[in-house]
Amino acid sequence: MDTIGKLQKELENFIGGINSAGLGNPDPQNIEKLDKMSAAAAALGMNQGKKLIDNLSTVLKSVQAGSAKEESAAVRLTALEFYLKNTAGGATEDL
């Protein structure tokens, strides 16, 4: 599996885990993982993926602080899932 495929798999696993745990009380370690995956996406030229990861990270921090609702995180999580499904196979161009 190539580097892009590994990152995509890591993001898929992350999404599965966060869906199981719920979006109402995000774990700071998960947010830290997202920030690391954002840097990896940038290094791979996955510009749209980086943007979506950053958006999710930002809103999860806001949910954690109590200034955003869980629904906002769900919208961003869905957008990231859509991106991953449409970039399967290593296509990283912006959608």
Quote the strand ranges of the chain, DSSP E.
none
Of 67, 69, 56, 54, which Cα lies nearest the Cα of 15? 56
Domain boundaries, the chain: 3-86
Q: How far apart are CA 9 and CA 40, in angstroms?
A: 13
Asked whether the whole model's pTM tops 0.85, one would answer yes
The secondary element (H helix, E strand) that includes residue 8 is: helix 3-21
Could you report the average pLDDT of every consecutive run of 10 residues in the chain (95 residues)? 84 89 86 94 92 96 94 94 82 53
Of 75, 71, 76, 70, which Cα lies nearest the Cα of 54? 76
